[in-house]
Chains A and B, each alone.
Chain A
């Protein structure tokens, strides 16, 4: 079977087409989903891509979280469907309380675009099983509101439960607490991160690395073997 992975487009989403391409390159069928539809078109997993949905008005992700499609995504995520939020998608997942914490403006107050080194902290999620814990990968980072924050208790819980999925290594580009770049929910089906794996799937473009491809191959293996 071919896995079907949905990619949501909100008004202001930017990386939807890139994410669709990454899914195709990884070997699955990419299915465009529209923010006004609550129908997920029988997809097996969903990606919330990066961008500035609803212009980041009010707060990044704050309005998108209430769009019709998110009602179904939240429901399905609780039922175990793999959901990945990249950058703005991570912000939406936090606003939707599928993941804890929030993103603040970068400590440098600038938009930061760079090839970012990350350390994989857990392979026990739907989206990271093709990585090895401790593995260093390098994928593009590009945001202005990327500083992950949460209260101490939440951070301690995330650490204790092995739910920090990625940490910035080398440089912490935005002041994220405990160098956190990405996290997972307790069940391991919902993952959010600020850097962009979909921009690191082809040797020809972007940074010239394919370190992001394993996100998509991980979930495809899980879906196909399910």
Chain B
């Protein structure tokens, strides 16, 4: 069949085109025709269809995401904000840190290993493209019920993929989450975060400027993997002998990515690029249109120069391919030779595929014939915007009225003991060492704290001991009960976790995992959660720097719990002052910071003991969170606290159990006046943490709390080899440890 050139498209305006099969709406197709003043060529149609997809254009979400900019707090820390590959934050001493969290949910359900692996690969390239050396990754993961047979297929594959890819890149995996809930059956959430470090002057942006500059594609050859919807086009427009129906999930090669990282960093060191962009979703379509759109001129690309893994690929397929481990750089002509030399040194294939032009169009040629001639902004930045209808679902009131406070509570010490063991051994609260021991947390030699600590801490300068801390958190149960509050609770928990390790929280990245935007109830959850997060970030002074939206996480009519996962980045001037979670010193005092109320809605206890989800999540008080963070940071800096652990799902007993097991010492606890043992142990009130304080520091520390108005209660002492609640029960550490550690291996063995 003949090539569908620009000329041919103008001559055949009535040719039928598979816009519907490519996921475009009728009005969207009409708009493309209007923009071009003719029907699009096959290649143009393919480009628009992927770039205007929900995934690339954020067409359902962007009216809500706008709030992150509109309500952004005043801060000097933000060097690059939303819109680039990743946001960049000033952490002092001339260093800048870039971080971002993304989803790879759908591919990971279909092909768990490759889906998860390429999720890591994609986010790492985003960070690299900003000019930074990637220094750590994290993976918040969510699966269906722990004992569901499919979880046994998906989870080990995802974990092996995260490890298989990340371990080969030499990036320590320093944290994340593993959560089970039946709502994620069929829709596992595989989110991946990467953080990178650079000097301020090394920041690179994705834009193509300077007519005559060369466009260089480097990295892996382009293959037919990850084409997705475009295979429809291929099968309809071209011969059936062509490579149609390619797998929609990309296949990763971490070795190639490792070479790409080192090669790119060397290229940055010699200042050889004027603009750079990684190739991820929508492949070359995205990279060329975004680079040209953000730059000052146009771009001309000779598509037949792209190195291929499969010589039979059509131009449409080359434009759409999501083959991994590729980057696109804009390079001044006199630097091209050196650029290619460095690529040769690292055995990385590099090809000049085009150049920046004086014009304003993105033009793509195939063996001399023009197949694309578009205004790049119309592809990359001027996609459709939807104001999707949203409405509070009619079941929300009944859900909130189903108060967890009315659930039967344990009364005797024996009942409390049983429920504590049930809690710490439940899949969500159990040790995740089976997962995290498959990840390298030591490589690069800068890991100061890694999971299961409250946040991962890495040193970024070995001379000054400057470091960064990152935590990710999300609670779909809370968010289902109240999306506004749930998003803020996720933010507050990540913020608190960063502060618990002694770091000052600076900025946020978010991964918003929701069901179908075509369901007004889901859209309401999304609207409420984004509003909550934007308000929360404003209150805490931590701007959203970027992130990702994943919609359509649902099977039939059943959507996942709305699950905003929030990553908070903090800075710690001296990593020697970091606060670990372990209760390591016998005799130290255990203090509870914050107030404990009867709050059980969405709690781990209500799930484990009653399989219940109803009522309201814990109350949010962001001013209190700020105060708590200040106290935790001061306590760390001034050497007053030796351990700290945030209180969140599972409440106080979960936190104390984890700190005791980590430190190898027991604790004797006393129920404070005014609280019953059950509320003391299981409530999930926000804005709380436990700290271990040497006796010599108690007065100084409690005076500081008193002066600043933070409630502090002495609740016990680190002692012995059991966790004992006076007058109620005692559980030997060995028993707690056995229960805590046995669950996950038993489920997955």
What is the interface of chain A, defined by CB distance below 8 A to chain B?
A: 11-12, 14-15, 17-18, 21-22, 51-52, 54-57, 110-114, 140, 142, 144, 196, 198-199, 201-202, 204-207
Contact = CB atoms under 8 A, between A and B. Distances in A.
Contacts of A54: 255
A140 B448 CA distance: 14
Nearest to A16: B170
A113 B160 contact: no
Given A12-B258, A205-B448, A21 B437 contact: no
15 contacts: A11-B255, A14-B170, A15-B170, A17-B444, A55-B255, A111-B164, A111-B167, A111-B438, A113-B436, A142-B440, A142-B443, A198-B445, A201-B445, A204-B576, A205-B459
Nearest to A203: B576
Interface in B239-262: 253-256, 258-259
A166 B327 CA distance: 44
B255 A110 contact: no
Given A11-B255, A21-B462, A55 B442 contact: no
Contacts, number: 86
B419 to A, nearest CB: 31
B168 A52 contact: yes
Q: Give 6 closest A-B pairs by Cβ, nearest first.
A: A55-B255, A14-B170, A18-B445, A199-B442, A140-B442, A111-B438
Contacts of A202: 445
B346 interface: yes
B575 interface: yes
B446 interface: yes
Interface residues of B, number: 33
Contacts of B465: 204
B425 to A, nearest CB: 22
Given A14-B169, A199-B443, 17 more contacts: A11-B255, A12-B168, A12-B259, A14-B443, A17-B444, A18-B443, A22-B445, A52-B168, A55-B255, A111-B167, A111-B438, A111-B440, A113-B438, A142-B440, A202-B445, A205-B459, A206-B447
Nearest to B433: A114
A199 B450 CA distance: 14
B48 to A, nearest CB: 37
A17 B253 CA distance: 22
A119 B344 CA distance: 44
B486 interface: no
A94 B168 CA distance: 21
Given A21-B462, A204-B576, A113 B442 contact: yes
Interface string B418-459: 000000000000000000111111111111100000000001
B118 to A, nearest CB: 16
Most buried by A among B259, B446, B459: B446
A169 to B, nearest CB: 18
Contact of A113 (B168, B440, B444, B462): B440
A167 to B, nearest CB: 21
B618 interface: no
B459 to A, nearest CB: 6
B163 interface: yes
Interface string B150-170: 000000000010011001111
B518 to A, nearest CB: 40
B112 to A, nearest CB: 15
Contact of A142 (B167, B256, B347): B167
A11 B443 CA distance: 16
A55 B438 contact: no
Interface in B557-595: 575-576
A113 B170 CA distance: 13
Given A51-B170, A55-B168, A142-B440, A110 B160 contact: yes
Contacts of B439: 111, 113
Nearest to A114: B437
Interface in B210-262: 253-256, 258-259
B445 A113 contact: no
A58 to B, nearest CB: 12
Most buried by B among A12, A22, A201: A12
Contact of B446 (A22, A51, A196, A205): A205
Given A111-B164, A114-B437, A15 B259 contact: no
Nearest to B159: A110
Contact of B445 (A11, A21, A51, A52): A21
Contacts of B169: 14
Contacts of A51: 170
Given A55-B253, A55-B254, A11 B346 contact: yes
Given A51-B170, A52-B168, A142 B442 contact: yes
Interface in B85-116: none
A55 B255 CA distance: 5
Most buried by B among A51, A110, A204: A204
B259 A11 contact: yes
Most buried by A among B169, B437, B441, B442: B442
B255 A52 contact: yes
A198 B576 CA distance: 20
Contacts of A206: 442, 445, 447
A114 B258 CA distance: 23
Most buried by A among B169, B258, B439: B258
Contacts of A198: 445
Contact of A57 (B163, B255, B258, B459): B255
B178 to A, nearest CB: 15
Nearest to B443: A14
A38 B445 CA distance: 28
A111 B458 CA distance: 22
B168 A204 contact: no
A196 B440 CA distance: 12
Nearest to B167: A111
Nearest to A21: B445
Contacts of B167: 52, 111, 142, 144
A67 B459 CA distance: 33
A50 to B, nearest CB: 8
B577 to A, nearest CB: 11
Contacts of B442: 113, 140, 142, 196, 199, 206-207
Contact of A204 (B437, B440, B459): B459
A112 B437 contact: yes
Contacts of A201: 445
Given A12-B259, A52-B168, A52-B255, A18 B444 contact: yes
Nearest to B578: A204
A52 B440 CA distance: 13
Given A22-B445, A110-B438, A198-B445, A12 B459 contact: no
B348 to A, nearest CB: 10
Nearest to B258: A12
A142 B445 CA distance: 13
Contacts of B445: 15, 17-18, 21-22, 198-199, 201-202, 205-206
Contacts of B346: 11
Interface in B135-192: 160, 163-164, 167-170
A204 B435 CA distance: 24
Nearest to B168: A52
B633 to A, nearest CB: 19
A14 B575 CA distance: 23
B441 to A, nearest CB: 6
A135 B437 CA distance: 26
Contacts of A207: 442
A163 B347 CA distance: 38
B708 to A, nearest CB: 30
A110 B439 CA distance: 10
B444 to A, nearest CB: 6
B561 to A, nearest CB: 30
Most buried by A among B169, B256, B441: B441
B255 A113 contact: no
Nearest to A198: B445
A52 B576 CA distance: 31
A111 B165 CA distance: 11
B170 A111 contact: no
